[in-house]
Structure 1
Amino acid sequence: MPTNNILILVGSLRANSTNQQLAEAIALNAPVQVDVIIHEPLGNIPFYNEDIDVEGHVPAAAAALRAATKKADTLLLVTPEHNGTIPAVLKNAIDWLSRPYGEGALKGKPTAVIGAAFGQYGGIWAQDEVRKAIGIAGARVLNDVSLAVPGSLARFAEVHPKDDAEVVKQIKGVLDAIAEARCMAAP
């Protein structure tokens, strides 16, 4: 089976973010044929503005995000929930990836959304909003791939997600579902 390159974008800027930890757990549990790359923090990317999205003058952080996304076979967005919706840094990244209109880096890219949140539902509202945004932006949304970890601050206060057997089992299910979706899409 060929290697699957998964690029992870984390929608949190916090140094000890439970979503960053979840991304790290995914990288640690990826099978041999899966290369997982966690993209640099999204806070370095300026807010999307068509005036600065000019060929040859795109800000370096935005250009790097686009290049990494184009290179990846699959995109995995790991998001917290901010006030019941998508974090601004993740929405901004999606905006950059959606351009140029109709030809952005997300076009046709198999993309899954998972996450952890403090609340009792694990951030499912934010995940639904992210799926909506990436679908409109042109991604091929993997709706059957899901993982929502509720109460993440308490759950991961003493234990990293990589050491939580239930979460690791769910991560392996996410990786299997991404691999299956990628195989089904291959010519």
Structure 2
Amino acid sequence: MTTAAPSPSTPTRVAVLVGSLRAESVNRRIAESLRDQAPSGVEVQIVDGLAALPFYNEDIDGDAAPAPAVELRSAVAGADRVLVVTPEYNGTMPAVLNNAIDWLSRPFGQGAISGKPFAVIGATPTPYGGKWAHEDARRSAGIAGAVVLDQVVVSQSTIDTDVLGDPQVFGRLRDALGALVDHQVEAA
């Protein structure tokens, strides 16, 4: 399944999944800044409620799926693109993000993430800036059916860097959003 490109008169909708639940997380602040500074013709929606998602379990999925899962799926299904903004926990993506991708992948091949252009950015206080988490998120989303844009990734270290205050660094994050939005989607 491929996503139809938005028409010039309708905005491109980007669903953002934040891998950190902490209210003052740098990654949440990156997502909020991208939302607040979105270019004309782009709507950025931070998908909240990931903390309320139960761990994926096929026994509770289906017609009576939990409300947080239904809301997540609806938000992503209604978007044209998916952007993940995440830190790295112990060398991999946070469990809350992995769980969200699990819910979005079902039913397999037809999940809300299937066919959606998908990119990952984020920051973490390590020398590698979260690159392993970003690789894991891209791999998982690709298996789930997303159209992973491997060239659109920013893994930014926060060691000695004010991610939001450094115009060059934040510019790279904003450019990643722009590249995701500009990605040409193949017609079905």
TM-score w.r.t. structure 1 length?
0.90
Corresponding residue for residue 49 of structure 1: 57
Instruction: Give yes or no for contact 1:86–1:127 (8 Å, CA) kept in 2.
Output: yes
Higher helix share: 1
Distance 1:178 1:82 in 2: 25
Distance 1:44 1:58 in 2: 13
Distance 2:39 2:50 in 1: 26
Corresponding residue for residue 23 of structure 1: 31
Corresponding residue for residue 117 of structure 2: 110
Corresponding residue for residue 139 of structure 1: 146
Question: Which amino acid in the other structure matches residue 86 of structure 1?
Answer: M
Tell me by how many angstroms 1:149 deviates.
1.4
Corresponding residue for residue 185 of structure 1: 185
Higher strand share: 2
* Unmatched runs of 5 consecutive residues or more in structure 2: 1-7
Distance 2:157 2:49 in 1: 23
Corresponding residue for residue 155 of structure 1: 161
Distance 2:121 2:107 in 1: 26
**Which of residues 19, 25, 31 in structure 2 aligns to 1:11?**
19
* Unmatched runs of 5 consecutive residues or more in structure 1: none
> What secondary structure, in the 3-state scheme, does the structure 1 residue paired with 2:122 have?
strand
Identity of aligned residues (%): 46
**Which of residues 129, 133, 136 in structure 2 aligns to 1:126?**
133
Instruction: Give yes or no for contact 1:9–1:78 (8 Å, CA) kept in 2.
Output: yes
Corresponding residue for residue 176 of structure 2: 174
CA RMSD of aligned residues (A): 1.4
Distance 2:181 2:139 in 1: 22
Corresponding residue for residue 36 of structure 1: 44
Tell me by how many angstroms 1:186 deviates.
5.0
Provide closer, same or farther for how the CA distance between residues 105 and 96 of structure 1 changes in structure 2, counting only shifts above 3 A: same
Per-residue deviation, residues 93-143 of structure 1 (Å, max 9, x unmatched): 000000011111111111111111110110001000000000001100011
Question: Which amino acid in the other structure matches residue 62 of structure 2?
Answer: V
Instruction: Give yes or no for contact 1:29–1:171 (8 Å, CA) kept in 2.
Output: no
Question: Which amino acid in the other structure matches residue 11 of structure 1?
Answer: G
Distance 2:140 2:178 in 1: 24
